Structures are given as structure tokens and as C-alpha cells.
A and B are shown apart, each in its own frame.
Chain A
């Protein structure tokens, strides 16, 4: 009897795992019909491609590499570029994470080390081209990946970044069952996100458990690095902007970063709680609800803070 029950349970688990192919349609980023525009027009997104041979004056102007989050695309930082408008006192390089912005299969087979590779590629290209005033801004998992790069010493042998900005970084997920993804993942196969029609082209609708497992892995890796202490590169500053209510990245993530990072001088880093219930409060386009005046103020205040810091 016991054997029968075990056999039935095992078969059930295997069957439930095997049948997990999501129903993808052409209205979704997952279907491959909306590749990220930075792939076909990198010159519009990457400073290293747009201006590969900067003048000595341009080479010292601030460049900020903007990194989006898990399951997102360069769209997440489009509003920062739009806000900056025709300003010429700094440039924005919008990086597309590896495995993102193409289709479901590409996403499913990616790892967090693949996700972060384009950040290093752009940083290294800018450095080779002579840029010396480089900063980074991350949203959500983009922030986690930037912290991981600092912790593993990537910048030790590169030009030092000037400033780091983290918008709604994820170190502690709001949905705590993410910690069980290694066990539950093979059973559920994938999770879904309720995107608006506007978001559908820019955010994956399906999240394969393999990538959730990678997400869990990188946030745990960085959490442990923060526990041990992360020292910023010499001369670099760091500021966290964190929505105080966030159903994706628990606000306590900001506490862990604040406690776990120090400037090279030993000084504390900076953190600011933002009164918002939006995950990545700096992205307002294509939201389900019309942004409030407070949402708009939060966004423009953060953009102004970032621009003001890197240009002074």
C-alpha cells in the first residue's frame, strides 16, 4: 500500500512538472514579437555605441549606466531618459540584462551571471573608450546585481564608479515563498504576472521557475555578502531609494543594504524611504492605475537627486 501511494505521488509530481508549458501569445514579450529596441538600435541606448570616441571633455562628463530588474527590459528606465530630455551635462546608458527582452525560452535558460554580463560589458567598453566619470543606477534586481559586482571586486581592476543609486532593490522578497522555489518550482513550472496591455510588451508575463531559482540564488548571495560587509570602491557613494510599501521587494531590503555597506572611508551609505506603494516607483508609464501627484513627485525628485549628484 505504501509503495502504491509513493508511486502515485511521484508520478503526479512528474506529470505536473512535465505539463508546465505556458500558453504564450503574440501580445506578450514572451512570444518574441517585441524584442527590446536596444537590440536593434543600441546607439539609442548605449553610450559606448553612440559615442565610441569621446572628446577629452566628453570623456569626463558623467555617464550613468541604468540597469533594469528581473523580467523587465530597458523600458524600465525610459522615463529617466525622457526626463533628462536634451540635457548634455550627463549621458544615460540603458543596459538590457542578459536573457531578457527576447523571448520566454531565452529567459528560461538564463542565469543571474548571464543577466549581469551586459553591465560589465558596457562598463568595460566605456572605460576602454576613455570615459572616466561613470556611475550606475539599478532598479529592483538590477540593484542586486550591481551590489554583487561590488562585493566580488569587479571594480578593483577598473576605473572606480563615482556613484551608485539603487531604486527599490530586492534583498528580501515580499513574497517569502520564493525561498521554497527549489522545492516547489519543479511542481508549478512557472508563475504569472498580471501585466497591463502597456506592460505586456516590456515585461515577461511568465516567470519560469528556473529563473525564480536564479533570482532566489542571487538575492541570497548578496544578502550574505551584505552580512559580511561590502565596502564601496574608493571615492564612490551609494544611495538607496526605497518605496515604504512594496509587494515585490520588501522595504526591509533597504535596512540590510544600509547596514551592510560602507564607503571606503568607513562612513555610512545613504538611504531614503519613499512614501509609495509602487515597486520601482520611478517607472510610472503603463501602470494599471493613473499615477498620483505624489507618484509623479516621487519620480521626479529621485531623478533630480540622481542627476544633481552625478553632475556636481
Chain B
């Protein structure tokens, strides 16, 4: 199913001509994220293009819409806000750097494990490429690093250091 999403997105890229990025726009869309060595966590994202270079964003991704869907995987939720700096703003293909701050929580499903850490702050950064299509949609690919992870003696055990993500957003407002 996840492979199908990727193929569809690649097809969209192939058939669409890029346009210049819009300014002061609000985009919403879906975010698909995978921790290296652990879960798929998917969800939603909103991005406010403050200037041609700066973007403020927020996202919610959860294993409930990923690996934990219909399985015994741990149900965990991540919510965070982000600030993005784009390079080459006049081009359709824009490298970017992003900083994220947020909150992580995991549901272990039994009081037996109440003493284990199951929440954490999220401090992460990612770098990647953003692509603006002819129609008002964007595709975002990046690789990131979580500065706070579990290490067996402290921190949430299923918060992994490396992740990659793909976001597809659509412009819903010009402000």
C-alpha cells in the first residue's frame, strides 16, 4: 500500500510541469514518515509560507496510521511545529533545512509498563528537497535526525534517531 503511494507520487511528478513557488500561502497535506529501523508513522501537515524563503509548519504523525494499523505495534503519536529555510526560492526544486520542536507520546497498553518513559520532547532537524508543481501542490522529501531518543536508561524506547519523510501538500489559501 505504501509502495503504491510512492508510485502514484512519482507519476504525478512525471506528468506535471513545475512553476515558481507562491508566497504567503497556506498548504495542507499528508506526511508519510519512517524511522530508520522502526515504524512507519503517517499523518497530516500544514505549512504557512511566510516569505519566499521561510516557512512555518505543524504536523501530526502517528503509528496508528502506519505500522500500528491492524498490528500489535506500539501506538505512538508525534506532534510538532517547524521552521523551514528554503534555498533557491525562485526555482521549482528547492533544497531546504528545517528545525522541529514537539512532543512524543506512546501507549504501552498495560499498567505493567507505567514506570517506563513513554513521553518525550521532540527536537529534530531535517534536510531535503521541495518540489512545486504547476498546479498548487508541493512534494517534500527529507532525511532527519532526532536529537532526543531513548537509550535504555532514559527516554522513550521507540523514539529513534534517524527518519525520512515524504509530504504532499496542496495550497488551500493565499493570504
B152 contacts A247, C-beta separation under 8 Å: yes
Q: Inside 8 A of B149's CB, which chain A residues have their CB?
A: 176
Q: Does B67 lie within 8 Å of A227, measured CB to CB?
A: yes
**A244, B116: Cβ atoms closer than 8 Å:** yes
- Which residues of chain A are near B38, meaning CB under 8 Å? 172, 179
**CB proximity to A under 8 Å, residues B46-68:** 67
- With A251-B116, A273-B112 as known contacts, state yes or no: A246 contacts B152, CB within 8 Å: yes
Taking CB atoms, residues of chain B closer than 8 Å to A277 are: 153
Q: Give the distance to chain A from B157, nearest Cβ to Cβ, in Å.
A: 3
Question: For residues 122 through 167 of chain B, which have their beta carbon under 8 Å from a beta carbon of chain A?
Answer: 149-153, 156-158, 160-162
In the bound complex, do residue A259 and residue B153 qualify as a contact, i.e. CB atoms below 8 Å apart? no
Report Cα–Cα, A178/B38, bound state, in Å. Answer: 11
Query: Do B112 and A248 have beta carbons less than 8 Å apart?
Result: no
Do B71 and A255 touch (CB < 8 A)? no
A233 contacts partner chain B, Cβ-Cβ < 8 Å: no
Q: How far is the CA of A256 from the CA of B150 in the complex (A)?
A: 15
Given known contacts A179-B38, A259-B72, is B161 in contact with A252 (CB within 8 Å)?
no
Which residues on A sit within 8 Å (CB–CB) of B157?
172, 174, 250-253, 255
Please report the C-alpha to C-alpha distance between residue A146 and residue B161 in the assembled complex, in whole angstroms: 28
Residue of A nearest to B149 (CB): A176
In the bound complex, residues from chain A placing their C-beta under 8 Å from that of B9 are: none
Instruction: Give the interface size bracket for B toward A.
Output: 20 to 34
- Identify A252's interface contact among B71, B150, B162, CB under 8 A: B150
Scan A25-54; emit 1 where CB is below 8 A from any B CB, else 0.
Answer: 000000000000000000000000000000
Contact of A176 with B37 at beta-carbon distance under 8 Å, contacts A259-B72, A260-B72 already known: yes
Contact B161 A256 (CB under 8 A): no
Q: Is the CB of A247 within 8 A of B36?
A: no
Min CB gap A193→B, angstroms: 15
Query: Which residues, 15 to 48 on B, are CB-close (under 8 Å) to A?
Result: 36-38
Which A residues are CB-close (under 8 A) to B112?
258, 271-273
**Smallest CB separation, A223 vs chain B (Å):** 8
- Rounded to whole angstroms, the CA-CA distance of A130 and B116 in the bound complex is 43
Complex Cα gap A220–B113 (Å): 22
Give residues 241-274 of A contacting B (CB, 8 Å): 244-256, 258-260, 271-273
Alpha-carbon separation in the docked complex, A175 to B73 (Å): 20
Query: Interface of A with B (CB < 8 Å)?
Result: 172, 174-180, 216, 220, 226-229, 244-256, 258-260, 271-273, 277
Sample (21) of A-B pairs whose CB atoms are under 8 Å apart: A174-B151, A175-B152, A176-B151, A179-B36, A179-B37, A179-B38, A179-B162, A180-B37, A227-B73, A247-B152, A247-B153, A251-B152, A252-B108, A252-B150, A255-B113, A255-B116, A256-B72, A256-B73, A259-B73, A259-B109, A273-B115
Interface residues of B (CB under 8 A from A): 36-38, 67, 71-74, 108-110, 112-113, 115-116, 149-153, 156-158, 160-162
Name the 5 nearest CB pairs between A and B, nearest first: A179-B37, A174-B152, A252-B157, A250-B157, A227-B71
- Seed contacts A250-B157, A259-B109, A273-B112; 19 additional CB < 8 Å A-B pairs: A172-B38, A172-B157, A176-B37, A176-B150, A178-B37, A179-B37, A179-B160, A179-B162, A180-B36, A180-B162, A227-B73, A229-B72, A244-B115, A245-B153, A246-B153, A250-B151, A251-B116, A272-B112, A273-B113
